[in-house]
Structure 1
Amino acid sequence: MAAADAVLPTAGHGAMESWLQSRSDVRERRGLVRAASPIRLSAAGAMLDLASNDYLGLSRDPRVTAAAVDAVQRYGAGARASRVVNGTLPVHAELEKQLCHLTGAESALAFSSGYLANLGVLGALGGPGTLLILDAHVHASLLDAARLSRSPVAIVPHGDLGEVATALQTRTQPRAVVVVESLYSVLGDGANLTALAALCASHDAWLLVDEAHGIGVAGAGRGAVHAAGLAGAGNVLLTVTLSKALGAQGGAVLGSAALREHLLNTARPFIFDTALAPAAAAAASKAAQIIAADPTLVARLQENAATLARLCGIERSPGAVQSIPMVSADHAVRAAAGLRAAGVRVGCFRPPSVPDGVSRLRVTAQADLTPAEMEYAAGLLRTVARAHPANVSEQAGLGRNRNDI
């Protein structure tokens, strides 16, 4: 029989299709079906956005978009190559300079996403001789990075300094990295960076702080590490995303010049990836300049976050994210749909996206919300909270949390 006439087996295809359908059925039964449908701009413009991470509204700031347009016209739509080939452009160097100015770090290295920045730094620092100690609530990218790093990994209870200390004291590896977020993406609470940095210093360990939700939000926008007086500390490393308060796209690792040199030569998501698109790099660079020059923008965000929490009758979280627990994933989905129908878009977090298995509405304050808009949104949120009262015990063990993805 000629190769072109060969009949390919179909049993495996059927088995795979059956498995995919079974997983779909499980998601449907648990109320965990997601969609990635395009937002209609005409409808989105009429809605109050309490769901996106564009905390300062910089993605639409004319200064930021003008910088992106100029970069496209000057350098083209893409970087065309890896940074270590010929993809490093002046706009990348300027971005890294502005990130250092904003955060107080000695050096920075830009990646094409915040996810890849986390994969890159833990992959480059990890290995059999490095113990990675992760807070249970860190982002999925950090969990994935730890698994891919070939390192021994310890997951400690959220915010538990005692467990971090125990892991550091009992380790047998010569190196250790404690991994936390400055402001957590679901609950919105913050890490005790001062205590963690001191603990790491006393045990000759690094502290890696994911500032994804801290940059542009905490410490007059310079981040929680800067606010804690830890900028430039030798044992404190940062990762940032450029797609949240900076309103663009990409990520970066910040730390010492020696760290940057190590990453440039060993971080696989940097070496083998096409460089960050010029438009995104220029936009993020301009946003960093705006935040550094105008702290009133961040102050408005903090005021709106406090007002939103007060009007909703929930405990104020230190960042932009305010969290409203829901009784179940199904309740969360229906509550979010009802709010959307009323003109308010909020985040709907369900397992496995939530680290504790408790579904919730994730409400993010925005710097450009008016008092009238917040009053309207808060009134709807209060109504939803009364209609869907939280009962955390009912969700215990529901599905798998993101640590088990």
Structure 2
Amino acid sequence: MNELLEMKEKLNLLKERSLYRNLKVISSEQTSSAVVDGNIKLMLCSNSYLDMSSDKRVKDFVKEIIYTYGTGAGGSRLTTGSYNLHSKLEEILAEMKHTEAALVFNTGYMANVGVISAICDEDYIIFSDELNHASIIDGCRLSKAKTIIYRHNDMVDLEKKLKENTYKKGLIVTDGVFSMDGDIANLPEIIKLSKKYRVLTMVDDAHGTGVLGRHGRGTAEYHGVEGLIDIYMGTLSKAIGSEGGFVCGSRVMIEYLKNSARSFIFSTALSPATIAASLKALEILRVDNRKISDLQENIKYFCHLLNQMGIEVSSESAIIPIIMGDENKALSAAEELLKEGIFVSAIRYPTVEKGKARLRITIMASHSKEELKFAAEKIAAVVSKCEIV
């Protein structure tokens, strides 16, 4: 068939350009180390920043819930899939984010797509950071709103575009922590501009929740602006170590989303076991922030090590990028590190711009200082073989 031949040609082209992707298979817990393609590797690419998914207290609680509730949800939340566990989790999330209410979605992707497309109609203009996550971009595309892109974290450009455009209603949407660069949105200034120009604010705090702030409440706690964001979105699949996305905001908005967000209405609910894992992880973090402080200490330590070894990095989030530039160099470096026992992701186009391929390193609270020192030495040695663009 011509269609299959065309697909094969496109795959071959991806391989030639070092853009082909394949799956690495993990056959163990995803903690600081894991069995990857049959061999133990040091994990430096997991989003499970606090290593909650391997916490014995979480696993034991999930076992109890499975025997009480079974393994499946049985339907969408609006039919038979809404359990008391879901409601309890939403109460905890709203309290955590200093809002009136919350709503859990199946993934962070579904949360962004559902929320933006439900709220924004043809009367809206959406002002979106140029490095926002793909789920935000797709949510904007699915909405009936006009979308205007502002330069990354550039508040002067954002205000210029707010001034230049006439709208009945507006929304500024941004990642809290940007998933490929690890830098943090300027929420205080975004809030000031939203009030000045009378637009709503939405923050995707997928990579900030559980990572930033003394209590791990995220980007808003980090900046001291808790309770001042109109739409606060996050995920349970990263630092919380479970699955799912959520949105926090006013009670009216949450009730509206229950009745209008298609990705919520038409999806089977997350299983009780999955919700239980999130509940237990959040319960632990509420009373004990040692994992959060361990993570933040490890981030500082690892950045210090790399800088000492001549690799210039800086991050307050768990994401530490090393820009390689060329896609082939990034892929070769990741493959060499895998041989050395370190699993690091090579991020390439279209996830990032052409010519900005990188090693995306992520830190976990459970990494030991010895593991981080070993990794830094190996990374410095491998990167030094490549000409960093």
**Does the aligned pair in 2 maintain the 1:133–1:156 contact within 8 Å?**
yes
Deviations 1:124-172 (A, max 9, x none): 1112111111101111111111101121111111111122112222332
Aligned counterpart, 1:248: 242
After superposition, the C-alpha distances for 1:153-197 in whole angstroms (9 at most, x for unaligned) are 111111111221122223322111111111111111111100101
TM-score (norm 1): 0.90
- 1:46 is paired with a residue whose SS is strand
Please say if 1:134 is aligned against 2:121.
Answer: no
Query: 2:219 aligned with 1:231, yes or no?
Result: no
Tell me which residue corresponds to 1:46. 40
Report which stretch shifted further, 189-198 or 38-47. Answer: 38-47
Tell me if structure 2 keeps the 8 A contact 1:136–1:355.
no
Structure 1 stretches of at least 4 aligned residues deviating more than 4 Å after TM superposition: none
Kindly, what percent of the aligned residue pairs are identical?
34
SS in 1 for 2:80: helix
* Equivalent position of 1:272 in the other structure: 266
In the alignment, residue 337 of structure 2 is paired with which amino acid?
L
What's 1:198 paired with?
192
Q: Which residue matches 2:170?
A: 176
**Which consecutive residues of structure 2, in runs of 5 or more, have no partner in the other structure?**
29-33
Per-residue Cα deviation, 1:318-371 (whole angstroms, up to 9, x for no partner): 100111011311111111111111111112101111156510001111111111
Shift of 1:212: 0.3
Decide whether the 8 Å contact of 2:182 with 2:315 is kept in 1: yes
Whole-Å separation in 2 of the counterparts to 1:334 and 1:77: 41
Contact 1:51 1:362 in 2 (8 A): yes
Q: Which moved more, 1:263-272 or 1:99-108?
A: 99-108
Distance 1:218 1:387 in 2: 34
Equivalent position amino acid for 2:217 in 1: R
Give the residue type in structure 1 aligned to 2:373.
Answer: E
1:277-296 correspondence runs (5 A): 277-296=271-290
Unaligned stretches of 5+ in structure 1?
1-13, 392-405
Give, in whole Å, the separation in 2 of the partners of 1:74 and 1:298.
31
Provide the rounded CA distance (Å) in 2 between the counterparts of 1:245 and 1:40.
20
Residues 211 and 218, structure 2, Cα contact 8 Å, conserved in 1: yes
- Map 1:290-329 onto structure 2 (within 5 A): 290-313=284-307, 314-329=312-327
Q: How does 1:146-165 map to 2 (within 5 A)?
A: 146-165=140-159
Q: Which moved more, 1:19-28 or 1:132-141?
A: 19-28
Matched, 1:208 2:205: no
* Distance in 2, Cα, partners of 1:211 & 1:144: 17
The 3-state SS of whatever aligns with 1:326 is strand
State whether residues 176 and 204 of structure 2, in contact with CA within 8 Å, keep that contact through their aligned partners in structure 1: yes
Is it true that 1:259 corresponds to 2:256 in the alignment? no
Q: For the Cα contact (< 8 Å) 1:182–1:213, is it kept in 2? A: yes
2:72 to 78, 83, 99: 78
Aligned partner of 1:349 in structure 2 is: 347
In structure 2, distance between residues paired with 1:209 and 1:17: 41
Amino acid at match of 1:316: S
Give the match for residue 8 of structure 2. Answer: 21
Q: Over aligned residues, Cα RMSD in angstroms?
A: 1.5
- The answer (yes or no) to whether the contact 1:197–1:236 under 8 Å persists in 2 is no
Q: Do the aligned partners of 2:109 and 2:245 also contact (CA within 8 Å) in 1?
A: yes
Deviation at 1:110, TM superposition (A): 0.2
CA contact (8 A) 2:49 2:318 kept: yes
Output the TM-score relative to the length of structure 2. 0.93
The yes-or-no answer on 1:379 pairing with 2:374 is: no
Aligned AA (2:349): P
Aligned match of 1:399: none
Aligned length: 377
Higher helix fraction (1 or 2): 1
